[in-house]
Each structure stands twice: as structure tokens, then as C-alpha cells.
Amino acid sequence: MRILIIGGTGLISTAITRQLLEKEADVTLFNRGKTPPRFPKGAKFLYGDRRDYTTFVQQMREAETFDCVIEMIGYVREDAQSLVQAFAGRTAQVIFCSTVDVYQRPASRYPYREDEPLRGLSDYARNKIVCEQVLNEAHERGDFAVTILRPAHTYGEGGTLIHSFGWSTTYIDRLRKGKPIVVHGDGQSLWVSCHVDDVARAFVNAIGNSRAFGRAYHVTGEEWMTWNQYHQKVAQAIGAPEPTLVHIPTDLLAKVAPERAGICAVNFQFNNIFDNSAAHADLGFQYTIPFVEGVKRTVAWLDEQHAIANSDEDTMEDRVIEAWQKLSEGMERELGV
């Protein structure tokens, strides 16, 4: 099969490309050519700007035909519309990388299933919902078959670890140095993480899979951890001391550090646990890499790249912790505790 990956050098798409090349598939990547690939030679490349929609459609129509197109960098309505314009009647299948953020929060039941209402809270989520709608309409018209995959937090070599202050690697440095870690709320909401190799395998198994036509699937972690447990496992994986966790109300945290902790208000404060049964049945999805092992691999890669930032040079988290401690002490004095 001839496969086109739009993207191809990001976290998940790198793992997809590597696995396809291991199967000796005919793989072409479309991207800007600015990110060095992290996979063996064998893929072909088309270079261009995904956001220059007129040129993109023209390039794709002038390119060879593909049996399957995997869209990894579609984020807004125009991305999905240009995908339809470029490939309607010219490919058998489009696989779209969406996100579990599309669902309403909190859920009507747990774990989330794929039929939960799509009412995401963030702009990112709402845009992904629109993309799904555009592509599902193309599927209904018979333009091509559509398969939607919805990962949750995906991590691994080539990426980093998420935390209440976002994605900065100072988090790892703080743990190693025994510094306190900010946690949104009481740290008891549930979270899942899945290593990129397991997520990518589901994408690969969806290619040409008629059972997946017109379907959406979760491809998420299966260790349901509280955020407190998450931080404890990360510390265990990297040989750091038992972490000191500083719990700060989510709404306050998102207000005082909106650029870093705003995601806590629209995502992390809610339970994020998902039913992967459909992906198990149709895509052969398996959760094979335990979280602690995956963290070891991820941090080892970051160390090799000298990519872990010095937390001593970023005082924001320390300032938030200090302000919270003063506020707490003031409340205790005022209430006579």
C-alpha cells in the first residue's frame, strides 16, 4: 500500500513512520522539512506549507495517488476542508489524529466511551470537533473512508512529560533536586499516559482496515493514576526522592499562571480515563509499556539530547508556591488555627 503521512516527524508520526518502514511499506511524508527525521531511511518526502491551502491542494492533486492518507497536523476547519478537496475520490481511506479533549467534561459516565457528547472546553478541542465533523461528512458522501483516532496524553522518546505547569522539562530537574512540585487541586483526579510506540501501532493497524471505516477509537493509557501517583511514579522512574507535592486550588492556579497552568482548568482537573475496548477489538491495540518503564526511556532520551532545562533559572513555580504558603499561613492566623 502507498501511504501518505501529513506531518511525519512529530512525536506520534515519527513512531508511525518507523513502524511502517519496519514493515517495508511505501511511505511518503508531507511536511516543511524543518524537523530532522528520527527514523531509518526509506521514506519519500514532499515538502510544503500545510497552511497554504491552495498550494497544498494543488501539490496533493499533482502527486501520486495514495491508498491511505494519515493526517497528523490537522487542527482547524480549513485543514480538514483542504484535506477533502485534495483527496476526495483519490484515496481509499483518511486516518485523522484527533484527541480525547473533544469530550464534554465532566463525563456523563466513566470510563469515557466513544459516544460521549463532543463538547470540549478548549479552543483546541472545539477545533478538533469541527475537523471530525468535516471529515465525517466526507465519509458519508463517499469521498473516502474515514477513521478517527483519539489519543490522550502520549509521551515517549522525542517528547517530554506533562505536569500542572505544562510541558517544561524543568519539572524533571525539580524532581531530581528534591524541589516541591505544584499539583492542581487535591491531586486526586485520574489521568492516563500512553507510550508513543503503543499509540502508533494502533494507527498502523487501522490502515486498510475495513472494520475501522467510519469509526472513532480511543488509543490511551490503561494505568489509571491520580495526579499524586503520577508524580510519585515519575520520581520513582528517575531515581528522585519522594516528591513534595504542593496542592493549589485549580481555579486559583489557572488564574495566577494562565499561560502555564490554564490547561488544568479545562482538562487536568477532570477525570481522564477511557474505555479502549473498541481499539482492542478492531485495531489490535495493546498497552504494552508500563508507565514507569516509559518514563525511564523518555528521560534517558532527554538526557542524551541535553534537553532538560535547569529549574534554578525558572523561578515561576517557586514564586507561586511561596505566595500560596503565605496565603495559607495568613488564613490559619486569621481563623486561629
How far is the C-alpha of 144 from the C-alpha of 102, rounded, in Å? 23
β-bridge mates for residue 112, sequence order: 274
Provide the 8-state DSSP code for 267.
Answer: I
Classify each residue of 266-298 as buried b or exposed e, where b means 16 or more C-beta atoms within 10 Å of its C-beta: bbbbbbbbbbbebbbebbebebebebeebbbbb
How far is the C-alpha of 118 from the C-alpha of 101, rounded, in Å? 9
pLDDT at 20: 96
The identity of residue 46, as a single letter, is L
How far is the C-alpha of 28 from the C-alpha of 244, rounded, in Å? 47
Give mean pLDDT, residues 128-139: 98
Instruction: Give the Å distances, CA to CA, from 36 to 3, 16, 51.
Output: 20, 16, 20
Instruction: Give the Å distances, CA to CA, from 314 to 171, 177, 307.
Output: 10, 14, 15
Q: Is 148 exposed, middle or buried (0-12, 13-18, 19+ CB in 10 A)?
A: buried
Least confident of 77-81, 189-193, 328-332: 328-332
The identity of residue 272, as a single letter, is N
How far is the C-alpha of 75 from the C-alpha of 5, rounded, in Å? 15
Domains along the sequence of the chain with CATH: 2-156+193-219 (3.40.50.720), 170-192+223-271+289-335 (3.90.25.10)
Element of type H or E holding 183: strand 181-184
> What is the torsional sign of CA 282, 288, 289, 292?
positive
Summarize the chain as % helix, strand, coil (round to 5). Answer: 45, 15, 40
CB 5 within 8 A of CB 70: yes
> Does pTM top 0.85 for this prediction?
yes
Task: Quickly state the pLDDT bin for 70 (edges 50, 70, 90).
Answer: very high
Task: Quickly state the pLDDT bin for 336 (edges 50, 70, 90).
Answer: confident
Task: Quickly state the pLDDT bin for 218 (edges 50, 70, 90).
Answer: very high
CB 161 within 8 A of CB 171: yes
Provide the 8-state DSSP code for 177.
Answer: T
Q: Around Cβ 146, how many Cβ atoms within 10 Å?
A: 24
User: Per-residue pLDDT tens for 156-188?
Assistant: 999 999 999 999 999 999 999 999 999 999 999
